Amino acid sequence: MDRKTIKKIIRKTLKPFAEEHGFQFHNPLILLREKESTIHIINFDVFVRGFNCLVAIQPLYFPEDAVHLSFGNSLNYLKSKVAGVWGSGDSEAELLKDLDEVMRLLKNDALPWFEDYGTPRGIITFIERELGRSTYLVLGFSEYLKCIFLGFSYLYLKKYHKAKPALRKAYLLLEEDKEDWAMEEKKLLSEMIKLVDKNANDEIDSQISKFIEYTKKAIKI
């Protein structure tokens, strides 16, 4: 079955689920839902033969230019352990059978995961309990990103001084990195740490609001 047909059937099958649970199609293969300035992501990768599904969480209050899957995992590894590539059969009936399993995993595994950890408080809980050590929950969630998500989640919740250790650690993790992106992020981190030290809470809140607006505009939600 060709990629175009698989994409069309995925969208048609997922449409009722999306409507019921408040997701929007960002594009034919990515569904997004916003909750408390955090987005819940369902991403389908379609190959020449078959597809897989990944789920992720992304805070809007750290400025980004695109949807990222760093804080997430393949749907089949999130809680259940099942084969992770579906749709390799030749018929629509086989594809629909695979999509039934995907829908079951989305409802039983992904939605509760989003509910538990898909908010600023949930992100803090996930990181502080060190749940990221489990490859069944997240894959590729770097120590740097954990610090970023933790620090900026505390800033969003107005717990400014709780944010400082995570922001400082994130800065130190990049200290020797001279790449352009790292230099930009170190500049941002340094500015936010200085604002915390100055107790410039109103300015921090203003910056967080600007970051949310920037990210939403950049990823077009």
Cα–Cα distance measured from residue 55 to residue 69, given in angstroms and rounded to the nearest whole number? 7
Global confidence as pTM:
0.93
Is residue 219 within 8 Å of residue 65, measured between CB atoms?
yes
What is the DSSP code (8-state) at residue 131?
G
- pLDDT of 55 reads 96
Residue 103 main-chain phi, psi, to 5 deg: -60, -40
Range among 43-47, 101-105, 187-191 rated most confident: 187-191
Pairing of strands 30-35, 24-27: antiparallel
- pLDDT of 212 reads 98
CA R_g for the chain: 19
Q: Kindly report the average pLDDT of the chain as a whole number.
A: 92
83 or 175, greater pLDDT: 175
Residue (of 181, 127, 116) closest to 154 by Cα position = 127
Q: pLDDT tens-digit profile of 53-101?
A: 999 999 999 999 999 999 999 998 887 777 667 877 778 888 899 899 9
Q: pLDDT tens-digit profile of 104-161?
A: 999 999 999 999 999 999 999 999 998 877 655 666 788 999 999 999 999 999 999 9
- pLDDT of 91 reads 81
Categorize the per-residue pLDDT at 5 as very low, low, confident or very high, splitting at 50, 70 and 90. confident
User: To 5 degrees, how large is the angle CA 50–CA 52–CA 56?
Assistant: 165
